[in-house]
Amino acid sequence: MHLTFKHFIPQFLSAFKNNITILLSAYTHFIMSFFLFVILILMVPSSNAYWPPSPGYWPSSKFRSLSFYKGFTNLWGPQHQRLDQHALTIWLDRTSGSGFKSVRPFRSGYFGASIKLQPGYTAGVITAFYLSNNEAHPGFHDEVDIEFLGTTFGKPYTLQTNVYIRGSGDGKIIGREMKFHLWFDPTKDFHHYAILWSPKEIIFLVDDVPIRRYTRKSDATFPLRPMWLYGSIWDASSWATEDGKYKADYRYQPFIAKYTNFKASGCTAYAPRWCHPVSASPYRSGGLTPQQNGAMRWVQRYHMVYNYCQDSKRDHRQTPECWG
């Protein structure tokens, strides 16, 4: 039987049609997979949306840890204070809270501690780590605060930073609050919180990431007198949680805070005048590197929940550092 070309045409067309169908199916599958991949990428936020970029410099590593008994003493509530293997536990219950204080006053320095907070209902409770000269200048004191504002179930802690100058925290409140929701759960593990105070700036840091820089724009808006370092846990139900909406509930007592890895290094009030202030950056003169500034901008963009300079209800004649 003699076969001509036209005998093969139906078979060729059928094979061609089958191949085109397979190719179209594969192409369609590829396109759908690609778009699904793109959608998933868009749906899952970048890791940068959760964790700050590296600051590139870790000031906490530049200062030695200090044992509690060498650097601090109980201030109040000694029966609500316990030291175990270099970790200090303080707690608040219906009878009392507790506080501690550095043995020496400072006129500048790096002040840090690793702190772990209590989970669950902690509304109305303040866990604090701060500088103050309230005992030396009652009614006319300076203060630099890191405060953890207690919370209710399912809501994050608020970390409040604040600066009071020359009695602005005594009666006539002129606070300079900036508040943050952290990028981690501070009840799961210890994290390092620090204040760098020099004659020209105050820098607040969390795990070596700068979160706020408060510069000396005038003597009237900057603390210059020696201060002691404090830590405490106490009942601030009147204002701590959502402006006092939620109070401390002692059904959940005791409210516990743990401190370790204490650091207090710098110029004491008794140091010679030539004692050089420490820095939070590689620059001996202070300030932050561009990388540190980038990390701070990220924190303030994604995790800052209040800035007193942006509060239209505030009388900013009292806070000239906000101008411009």
For the domain that residue 231 is a member of, what is the CATH number?
2.60.120.200
In a domain, 4, yes or no: no
| Band of pLDDT at residue 22, cut at 50, 70 and 90 | low
Looking at the structure of the chain, the number of domains it has is 1
> What digits encode the pLDDT tens for the residues 145-162?
999 999 999 999 999 999
In a domain, 41, yes or no: no
* Selected residue with higher pLDDT from 44 and 316: 316
- Exposed/middle/buried for residue 198 (C-beta within 10 Å: 0-12, 13-18, 19+): buried
Report residue 316: phi and psi, to 5°: -80, 5
- Cβ atoms of 142 and 225 within 8 Å: the answer is yes
In a domain, 135, yes or no: yes
In a domain, 218, yes or no: yes
Q: Which residues sit opposite 113 in a β-bridge? A: 193
Map tokens 């409140």 to a residue.
Answer: 173
In a domain, 174, yes or no: yes
In a domain, 5, yes or no: no
Distances (CA, A) of 207 to 1, 53, 54, 93, 231: 88, 12, 10, 29, 18
Domain housing 277: 62-322
Overall average pLDDT of the 201-209 stretch = 98
Known catalytic residues are 143, 147
In a domain, 177, yes or no: yes
**DSSP secondary-structure letter at 9?**
H
314 has pLDDT over 70: yes
How is residue 160 written in tokens? 């409040």
> What digits encode the pLDDT tens for the residues 223-274?
999 999 999 999 999 999 998 999 999 999 999 999 999 999 999 999 999 9
207 has pLDDT over 60: yes
Amino acid making up residue 229: L
**Peptide bond before 254: cis, by omega within 30 degrees of 0?**
yes
- Indicate the helix (H) or strand (E) that contains 320: none
- Indicate the helix (H) or strand (E) that contains 278: none
Question: Which of 116-125, 170-179, 312-321 is least confident?
Answer: 170-179
Give the whole-number percent of the chain exceeding pLDDT 70: 84
48 has pLDDT over 70: no
